[in-house]
Structure 1
Amino acid sequence: NKPYPKSRYCRGVPDPKIRIYDVGMKKKGVDEFPFS
């Protein structure tokens, strides 16, 4: 249930940010991420 496939936002987002994105999305939701 991700807004984008990993291969898509993986191109513009560094690896540490992807992990923060995944963990943060489960806790807060995608709406709080500017690069969503």
Structure 2
Amino acid sequence: MNAAVDVCLAVLLVVVALLVYNLQAWLEHWEQERHLED
């Protein structure tokens, strides 16, 4: 039971890390696009 919980937590951490990384990359891209329009 504990092993399954550990696996679930590990997967959640990876998913959150990927979401944060993608969000930062998207924000940087959006900033560049906005600066190009100015």
TM-score by length of 2: 0.34
Higher relative contact order (CA 8 A, sep 6+): 1
TM-score by length of 1: 0.36
